[in-house]
Amino acid sequence: MQVTLTIIRYPKRYIFFALLAMAVHRLPLWLNNKISFYKLMGSGKNGTFDIHPDWQQWAVMAVHSKPFEPEELDTPDHAIKLYGQLIYAWYRFFKCEIYTLVLEPTEGHGLWDRKEPFGQLPKNTTYEGIVGVMTRATIRLSKLRAFWQNVPGVAGQMQQTKGLHTSFGIGEIPFIKQATFSVWESKDAMKDFAYRLKEHNEVIQKTRKQDWYSEELFVRFKLLHTIGTVHGIDPLKGKL
């Protein structure tokens, strides 16, 4: 199994078509028999859970039944192989900047829309290299206020944490279905933030005691390859 997360940035004049893509691209992805699970998502502004959307930045995540070799994807038109001709042509026509992370799920637990999209994973492995982390939750409507009062401050601190290479705030439904994909130099660096930062640990305790989420997912990934740029750079260049 192989997973891709593609970050797409549209020029400002094409924001309407970015919104339209959330509907139009569902059919070709659903019909693609090489993809077992997919999500089209918007993005937050600050690289993590964020109530303010970035209307230029969007994302698509897909689980591929057949792994790709790096040389198959290391081309400007790699989106054809990943998502099909229609989606690639759309990105090209609207002059999108695209950045793709190729991932292998290694550890995790939880559900996404009542499914285990990455299969049954162990909770821990011996892998110790650079690690990608997906944290995703569906927030209970009755807990939205508590969530958004507590999370933004901690999310802002994450950007200053030692060992963080990059992060992307993504989500299917604004305010309710939220996710963060972050890349760390090691599991220890990620754990330093997750469990040793006082404010973050307090928020974790609140989510459990107050039952903020109706569904949640936590998965770690091995980073295999990156293609393209976001904001003109590859934030992981030279790190894999």
196, 109, 104: which is closest to 158 by C-alpha? 196
Helices (H), 84-232: 85-93, 144-158, 187-196, 198-209
Spans of all domains in the chain: 2-228
Q: What distance in Å separates the CA atoms of residue 142 and residue 158, rounded to the nearest whole number? A: 26
Burial 215-232 (b: 16+ CB within 10 A, else e): ebbbbbbbbbbbbbebee
- Number of other CB atoms surrounding residue 108 within 10 Å: 20
- Domain 2-228 indexed as CATH 3.40.50.720: no
Which structure tokens are listed for 54? Answer: 């970035």
Q: What distance in Å separates the CA atoms of residue 93 and residue 216, rounded to the nearest whole number? A: 36
Tens digit of each residue's pLDDT, the chain (240 residues): 999 999 999 999 999 999 999 999 999 999 999 999 999 999 988 777 777 889 999 999 999 999 998 888 988 889 999 999 999 999 999 999 999 999 999 999 999 999 999 999 999 899 989 999 999 999 999 998 888 887 766 666 777 788 999 999 999 987 899 899 999 999 989 888 877 666 667 777 888 888 999 999 999 999 999 999 999 999 999 988
Paired sense of beta strands 2-9 and 53-64, if any: antiparallel
146 Cβ neighbours under 8 A, 6+ residues apart: 206, 210, 212
Collapse the DSSP code of 1 into the 3-class scheme (helix H, G, I; strand E, B; otherwise coil) and give the result. coil
28 Cβ neighbours under 8 A, 6+ residues apart: 83, 84, 86, 87
